Every structure is written in C-alpha cells, then in structure tokens.
Amino acid sequence: MTTPIYECLINKKTSTKPIWFMRQAGRYLPEFKKIRKLNPDFVKLCLDTNLSSEITLQPLKRFDLSAAIIFSDILMVPYGLKQQVNFKKDFGPLLGEINLEDISEAEFIEKLKPIYNCINKVKSNYLIKNKNLIGFIGAPWTLLVYMINKKSPKKNIDSSFFNNKKLIDKILEKLEKFLIIHIENQIDNGADIIQIFDSWAGLLDRKDLPKYIYEPTLKLVNFIKSKKIPVICFPREIKNYREYVENVKPDAISIDYKIDPNIIKKEIKIPIQGGLDPKVLLSDKENLKKEALKYLDIFKDHPYIFNLGHGVLPETNPMMIDYLVKIVNDY
C-alpha cells in the first residue's frame, strides 16, 4: 500500500503534504454530538464497536484526509487493567483506586476487544481505501500520571508523586507488558501506523526523562518497528525535541504549538508532524491560511505531515477544518 503518509514516513518523500488531525473524530462534529447526546457514558461509547467505527469514519465522509484515527482513548488501558475510569462533563477523566492484582492477558484483551473489532470494521470500509488507519496508545509516563494522580494534572504534579518508587516501578512494568499487548492487537486488526501520545511529557525535569520517558517509550517504539509498522511520537511540550528523537528513535516526531518550527527543522532530520495551534481554527480564514502556509513553507523541503500541535478544539467550526484541508491538499 502506498499512501501519502507512508511516502513521508518510510520513503521520506516531500512531494505532497499528507494531512490528518488529532481528535479529528469527535467533539466538534454535529453528527458526533448527536451520538454523544444519546450515549453519555464515554467509556461505553469507546467500547461500542458499531458506534466507535461510525465515529472514526465521520471525518472521512466530510474531508479529504490522508488517514483515519481510531475513536478511542488512551485511558482504555487503565480501564483494561481494572482501574475505574469515568469522564465527568466539563472536568475530564476521573480514575478510581489502582488495581494491582494480577490480570491475565486474555482478560485484558476481552475487556478491550470492542476496540480491536472497531479497527477491523473500519479497515474493511470503502472510505479507508488508499488511506492509513492510525491506532494509538498513551505513553507509559502519561498513563502513570493519570493512574496515580487519578485525574488530569493540568499544569504540574505534586512532588509527593515520586514518593512511592515501588508502586511506580510496579505500574511501569505492568504498563510495558499490557501496552505491547494493546499495540499488537491494534496492528493485528488493521492499524497500519501507531501514534504514542505523551501528553504530560512537559511536566518532567530533564534528570527524570531517561527513567520515565526515554527508556519505557523506546521499548514500545522498538516493538512497533519489529512489526514493520511506522511509529509517530508526540511528547507534548517536552523541553528538548532533538534529545527525545535521539533517545527514542521514532519514525516521525509530532510537535506541539509552543515550539518554534524553524528550530525543529534545523535540529531534526526525521519526518515532522503537526505544530499548528488548534486555536488558529477559531480565528478567521485569512489568519488560518497565513498560519497554515507558514508551516507548509517551513517544511516545504522536509518530510512533513500536516497536523495540529494538539487536538481539534470542541468549539471548532467544521467549515474551517474543510478550508484548512483544501489549503494543504492544494499546496
């Protein structure tokens, strides 16, 4: 299969700029809002094979995108490990007590089977023809933060977070095992790219990066590569993208909107993804075009996948997404 994203990731070609969006399936689309209204339990929605596959394909019906990303959540892994996960309106995720009892591989797969069935169903849909299907996981560090903190840390984590080293090591060990199982099942059912979201990478001091980010993420990257599948990493707001790339060795690096893309272009040789501030989509067409062209021009001669520096915001007008997709496809 030759797709614009593969051309970029594998062949490092720059002739066209592929485009997809983090959170492209979901909260800003009126057709999603209809489904969500009837399905207030977000976890149950993620585990409804028919609805999650329908939601995954909704953006492809509207926009000429290069890929679908599966409608799911990084917190489905803690859920699979028997930690209670709820999503509270206008607040975000709330997790229960950590469950450290042994869980078998079969039990874990059974809990998350609807996700794998969803990937399989999407893969056979005509809309995905000549497009990639992106599966994903949360990075070990980010999942560890949610599991221990039991909610989103927002701006910082309490220094007491690191007190229980034994607990942290036990969770990281468990996460490594079950993230590999989760990745493998996504690939076996048709995911042909994996993205690793490290949403809270920016919270760590440099001295803690090897233990919590570089080493555990590299193991997952190596596993994905062993399956002959490209891997994109998104270490949001990490202080040093170049150092991350040197240590973790992904096929592509997704950048956030706070980093200067000119620095990235100068320092990083592998394919780049993303960067545009999602808030630009809330402005006007003229500003959107100017900002989009800025990224397209900077990475004109560099393998580049157009994306945002974070997820599509809920208040985004789908017409602006449509306009942006056309700008990129016409570039």
User: What Å distances lie between residue 94 and 60, 129, 151, 236, CA to CA?
Assistant: 31, 37, 5, 21
- Contact (CB, 8 A) for 180 and 153: no
How many degrees, rounded to 5, is the angle at CA 77 between CA 75 and CA 79?
75
Per-residue pLDDT, 283: 98
The pLDDT assigned to 218 comes to 98
185-228 tens-digit pLDDT = 999 999 999 999 999 999 999 999 999 999 999 999 999 999 99
Domain regions of the chain by residue span? 4-330
Per-residue model confidence (pLDDT) at position 91 = 84
What single-letter amino acid sits at 4?
A: P
Q: Name the fold adopted by 4-330.
A: TIM Barrel (3.20.20)
The residue behind tokens 């229960």 is 96
Phi, psi for residue 194 in degrees, rounded to 5: -120, 130
Spatial distance between the Cα atoms of 133 and 42, rounded to a whole number of angstroms: 22
- What is residue 161's predicted lDDT score, i.e. its pLDDT? 87
In sequence order, the 6+-apart residues with CB closer than 8 A to the CB of 34 are none
Q: Are 278 and 312 in contact (CB under 8 A)?
A: yes
pLDDT value at residue 156? 74
Q: Which helix (H) or strand (E) holds 93?
A: strand 92-95
| pLDDT for res 102 | 87
| CA distance linking residue 41 with residue 86, whole number of Å | 8
Alpha carbon separation from 268 to 87, 242, 251, 331 (Å, rounded)? 37, 6, 12, 23
Instruction: Kindly give the parts of the chain with pLDDT less than 50.
Output: none
Give the pLDDT confidence score for residue 154 in this predicted structure.
Answer: 77
What are the percentages of helix, strand and coil residues in the chain, rounded to 5?
Answer: 50, 15, 35
How many Å apart are CA 18 and CA 328, to the nearest integer?
8
What is the reported pLDDT for 14? 84
Task: Quote the pLDDT of residue 172.
Answer: 97
> What is the C-alpha to C-alpha distance for residues 306 and 298, in angstroms, rounded to an integer?
12
